[in-house]
């Protein structure tokens, strides 16, 4: 039944446009090598973000992601690296139990922390530390 609901949603061409990067391009950056689409599968809520608003609901499937009901293609390009609607998005961190994840564009146009329940607790601090290390300006992140 969920697949039928997703198939009926309009598919935007890409994520919402962003004009000002939130990442220092000289900072080191990496993706988590054991992060893949199977670990992201299911429902998430954005708790903090720039270029994607807090409260946004995501549902990852094997080749699609619903973002507040709009369906975009998603594909894994390599370990910890995806394309969402054709845009590169890296999984910078996901906790061992797949409850909280920090994702962002390597060019710094968007970044977000998402959680299965919307209440990451102590994992929020860990996600923010990783994103800061990778050069994201978290003073510009909403949430």
Who wins on pLDDT, 31 or 1?
A: 31
Please give the Cα distance from 59 to 73 (Å, whole number).
Answer: 12
User: In the chain, pLDDT over 90 holds for what percent of residues?
Assistant: 82
The mean of the pLDDT values for the chain is 90
What pLDDT, in 10s, does the model give residues 53-88? 999 999 999 999 999 989 999 999 999 999 999 999
Return all residues near 49 (Cβ < 8 A) that are at least 6 apart: 56, 110, 111, 112, 113, 141, 142, 143
- For position 29, what pLDDT does the model report? 96
pLDDT band at 123 (very low <50, low <70, confident <90, very high): very high
Nearest Cα residue to 138 out of 54, 37, 15: 54
Neighbour-count burial of 74, counting CB atoms closer than 10 A to its CB (0-12 exposed, 13-18 middle, 19+ buried): buried
Taking the CB of residue 48, how many other CB atoms lie within 10 A of it?
22
Does an H or E element contain 94, and which? strand 87-94
Kind of pairing between the strands at 111-115 and 100-104: antiparallel
């Amino acid at each position: 039944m969920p697949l039928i609901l997703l198939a009926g949603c309009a598919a935007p061409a890409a994520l919402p446009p962003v004009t000002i990067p939130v990442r220092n391009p000289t900072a080191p950056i990496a993706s988590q090598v054991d992060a893949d689409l199977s670990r992201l599968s299911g429902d998430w809520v954005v708790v903090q973000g720039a270029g994607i608003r807090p409260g946004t609901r995501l549902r990852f499937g094997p080749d699609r992601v619903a973002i507040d009901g709009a369906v975009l293609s998603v594909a894994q390009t390599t370990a910890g690296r995806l394309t969402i609607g054709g845009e590169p998005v890296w999984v910078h961190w996901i906790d061992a139990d797949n409850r909280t994840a920090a994702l962002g564009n390597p060019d710094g146009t968007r970044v977000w922390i998402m959680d299965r329940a919307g209440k990451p607790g102590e994992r929020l601090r860990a996600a923010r530390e990783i994103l800061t290390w990778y050069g994201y300006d978290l003073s510009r992140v909403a949430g």
